Chains A and B, each alone.
Chain A
C-alpha cells in the first residue's frame, strides 16, 4: 500500500506532534487546506488500518525514574526461538521483543528483549526470569544497558 499525496502531507504535518490548541484537527486541516472532518476521517482510517498505532503521548522513561534500560540479547536454539520468544514477550518488564539475525561469529544472539527498571538490579532480575524460562534452549546472553539517549524523535518522513 503506497501513500497517497494527501496521506503523505498529513503524516508530514502530524509526525512531530499534534498542535496543542483546543481544536488540533482543525489546525492541521487549515495547514493542509482541508476541513477538520477530513483530517479526523483519514486519521480514523489510518488507525483502523494500523498505519497509526495509536494517538497518544510518548514518555521519556528516564525522566520518570525508569533509568535502567537494558537490551537483553539471547542465543536461543532456532527450533524453539519462536515459541519461547512469544513467552518471553509476556513477562513483566519486557516492552519490545523480536527475533533478529545472528551475525556470526561475533554476534551469536537471535532474540532481543528490551527490559526496563528503576535500577540495573531490577533489570537483572527480569533477565534471570527470562533465563529460567529459556532453560537449556539458551546458549548465552548479554545485557546492553543504555548509558545515553543520543536521539529520540521517532519517524520523520522527508518532504518530497
Chain B
C-alpha cells in the first residue's frame, strides 16, 4: 500500500517531471538529450529519476501502453466490502496482474448519511456503498470477465462492472511546478 505522505520535491525535480510529461525521445541517449534541454547532466537526470521512483513520487517511467489499440480492454469495477474484510479482499483483488489500479473510496453522500444517522438514530440510505474501486487492464474482454468472476468466487462478493461507453477525456496533467513551490 502506498503512503499518503506528501514529499517535498525540489524545483529541478519538478522541472524534470513536467518536462517528461511532454514525452521522452527515441534516440540513442535520450537522458542526455533531456539533460541538454534542461541544462542538467545526463548522470543527474538518471539519478533524479532513480531517486523519484525510489521515493514513490513517480510510480512509473516508460511507455504507457493503450492496450485497447491491440484488442485489450480497461474496465472500471467496484465492490462493496465490509470493513472487517477490507484488507483480505484487497489482497485477493490486488493479486491479479490484470488489476492495474485499486482505490479505497468513501462516498460523500454516505458519509453525510452516517453523520445524520448518528445524530438522529436513523439507518443509512447508502448502507452498501461501493468502497473498493479498481481498474482492470486485460488483453481481451474475455480475460477481464474471467478475472472478475474469479474475484467474485474467491471473495463471495459481487463485482459491479462499469465499462466505459464513451471517453471524453483521459489525460492527467497537474501543475507539478506549483507543487514544488512556484516557477523556476
A→B interface (CB under 8 Å): 1-3, 7, 11, 14-18, 20-26, 36, 40, 43-44, 46-47, 49-67, 69-71, 82, 85-86, 88-90, 94-101, 103, 106-107, 112, 114, 116, 142-158
Contacts and interface: CB of A to CB of B under 8 A. Distances in A.
Counting from the closest, the 4 A-B pairs by CB-CB distance are: A89-B169, A89-B168, A95-B172, A150-B102
Contacts of A101: 161-163, 165
Given A57-B20, A60-B57, A99 B164 contact: yes
A144 B107 contact: yes
A1 B69 contact: yes
A98 B30 contact: no
B31 to A, nearest CB: 6
Nearest to B108: A143
Nearest to A111: B168
Contacts of A96: 169-170, 172
A62 to B, nearest CB: 5
A151 B76 CA distance: 14
Interface string B65-83: 1110111100010000000
Contact of A16 (B42, B46, B60): B60
